């Protein structure tokens, strides 16, 4: 007899969502990536989002849209970065009660970064200020540090 674990459909989606999120982060954290790694990073982020949409909360869905916005910003694909950043912001607005303080900082950060990559300086600066303000309002020192570590890293296309 084997001790096989049987998962419910919801459990399986949760496991895939978290696994693909981790795979995306691992690739995002690399200082340089190959073309194949860039493609896998994008695919993993989309896969994570697909599984969260089935089994996750509104906050997990919103965070997956943020991740896709970041991935596309890192890849220099402004139009896709803007699309997913807007979805992230829309989900935040539609589900405010379900979100955490970090979400209120990361959603405008996604818009700021996407506009920076697109070369939209005035919009980038507007959302940078909103993200900074929301980040400063995070009560937990650990969460605030987490936000500003991400906020201060990466490509801002000379906007920040």
* Separation in Å, CA 30 to CA 8, 37, 128: 34, 10, 24
pLDDT at residue 2, rounded to an integer: 65
Q: What is the DSSP letter of 158?
A: T
pLDDT at residue 153, rounded to an integer: 82
Q: How many domains does the chain have?
A: 1
User: Is residue 1 a part of any domain in this protein?
Assistant: no
Q: The domain spanning residue 70 has which CATH number?
A: 1.25.40.10
The range of the structural domain enclosing residue 75 comes to 10-151
User: Is residue 4 a part of any domain in this protein?
Assistant: no
* Separation in Å, CA 119 to CA 62, 69, 83, 113, 116: 24, 15, 15, 10, 5
Query: Could you tell me the pTM of the whole model?
Result: 0.92
pLDDT at residue 155, rounded to an integer: 65
Instruction: Kindly list the averaged pLDDT for each block of 10 residues, start to end, along the chain of length 160.
Output: 81 96 96 97 98 96 97 96 98 97 97 95 96 97 95 72
Count of CB atoms situated within 10 Å of the CB of 136: 11
User: Is residue 72 a part of any domain in this protein?
Assistant: yes
pLDDT at residue 16, rounded to an integer: 97
User: Is residue 91 a part of any domain in this protein?
Assistant: yes
pLDDT at residue 99, rounded to an integer: 97
User: Is residue 120 a part of any domain in this protein?
Assistant: yes
């Amino acid at each position: 007899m084997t001790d096989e674990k049987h998962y419910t459909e919801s459990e399986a989606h949760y496991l895939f969502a978290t696994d693909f999120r981790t795979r995306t982060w691992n690739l995002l954290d690399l200082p340089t990536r190959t073309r194949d790694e860039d493609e896998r990073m994008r695919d993993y982020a989309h896969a994570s989002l697909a599984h969260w949409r089935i089994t996750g909360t509104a906050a997990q869905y919103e965070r997956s849209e943020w991740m896709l916005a970041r991935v596309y910003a890192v890849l220099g694909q402004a139009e896709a970065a803007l699309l997913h950043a807007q979805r992230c912001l829309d989900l935040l607005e539609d589900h405010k009660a379900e979100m955490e303080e970090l979400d209120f900082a990361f959603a405008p950060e996604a818009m700021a970064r996407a506009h920076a990559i697109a070369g939209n300086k005035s919009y980038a600066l507007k959302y940078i200020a909103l993200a900074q303000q929301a980040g400063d309002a995070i009560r937990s020192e650990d969460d605030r540090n987490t936000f500003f570590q991400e906020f201060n890293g990466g490509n801002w296309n000379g906007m920040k």
